[in-house]
Amino acid sequence: MSNERPTLGIVVPCYNEEAVIRETITQLSGVLKALMEEGLVSRASFLMFVNDGSRDRTWELIAESQKSNPLVSGLKLSGNVGHQNALLAGLMTAKEHADCVISIDADLQDDVKAIREFVIKYSVEGCEIVYGVRQSRKTDTFFKRTTAQGFYRFMERMGVKVTYNHADYRLMSKRALNELERFKEVNLFLRGIVPMIGFKTGIVFYDRLDRFAGESKYPLPKMLAFAFEGITSLSVRPIRLVTMMGFGLSLVSLAAVIYAVASKLLGNTVSGWTSLILSVWFLGGVQLLSLGLIGEYVGKIYKEVKRRPLYIVETLLMPDTLKQAEVESGPARVRSLNVQP
């Protein structure tokens, strides 16, 4: 890597984070200032908070902070597009002004002190991608720990390559982000897409903290839906499993036919209403499952071929340092945005 201090952008997707956003800005600003004082990052480094259609005062608080805090920038999307799309919007906007970008959630459960190690992995060891990985899950309840571990194992068995105990707390270099931009799929699952990029990677272990305030945006039903979205977006293994199940049931049916014919010839025919009904129900359930799974993939194809935008930016608030860089380097990706002082 270059000996020059890199410009660091920290992207924070926000959805209804009114209860925690002030503390998040305070803590991240403190970390960024410390990195600047230590000479690890450029004075042009910044924080970018992405408002994903929040219904509370999240955006108002971001806008207020941007006026008084020279490190803060804000990106307001025109509506709620979901965590992954909002995160991508922040990454793609921030990379135009930064050498490397760290993504972190607004709830302060990811230890902000680990950011220094991310930067060292990038600057000293030359890692293009650095994953933040939980040290352990000792503080989780038994149910939370079991379901989370099951999530990663199930994803892996379904053919999706993910980093164990890693969410979306990571550093990506500008080069890696440029490659990420080439992935054009509408059905986004960044935890599975980023490992496909390759390049030199590193891992920073940290202890996950309790949520500072507010409620979790990923209860169990949403986590299950998120896992299913990732599996069907990145792997065809579920379809292959259904095909293998169909092949196996065909063999069982063939054996049943041979058994039935042999019983008829030997005069051992016995009425089997219960077994017949159970077989019909079982095969009917398998057929409905298969059709539903195929429909899920067809639906994803439908979304992909329409090529709708993943997000629409309504407002971009930038610090003076970024505005000056914009003037010197050209408007790039923010040419059509509503940029406010």
Contact, 27 vs 110, CB < 8 A?
no
What is the C-alpha to C-alpha distance for residues 144 and 138, in angstroms, rounded to an integer?
10
* pLDDT beyond 70 at 338: no
Contact, 25 vs 49, CB < 8 A?
yes
- Give me the residue spans of the domains in the chain: 8-234+309-340, 237-306
| Residue linked to tokens 């980023």 | 194
What tens digit of pLDDT does each residue of 219-237 get?
A: 667 666 666 666 666 666 7
The mean pLDDT of the chain is 80
* pLDDT beyond 70 at 40: yes
What tens digit of pLDDT does each residue of 154-179 get?
A: 777 776 777 777 888 999 999 999 99
Q: Give Cβ neighbours of residue 166 (< 8 Å, ≥ 6 apart).
A: 131, 132, 133, 134, 191
pLDDT over 90, % of the chain: 45
Angle, helices 21-38 vs 58-68, to 10°: value is 30
* pLDDT beyond 70 at 320: no
pTM over 0.85: no
What tens digit of pLDDT does each residue of 182-213 get?
A: 988 877 888 888 998 989 999 999 988 776 55
Which residue from 238, 243, 221 is spatially nearest to 297, judged by alpha carbons?
A: 238
Q: What angle do CA 68, 72, 73 make, to 5 degrees?
A: 120
| Structural fold of domain 8-234+309-340 | Spore Coat Polysaccharide Biosynthesis Protein SpsA; Chain A (3.90.550)
Q: Give Cβ neighbours of residue 304 (< 8 Å, ≥ 6 apart).
A: 185, 186, 187
What is the C-alpha to C-alpha distance for residues 261 and 336, in angstroms, rounded to an integer?
74
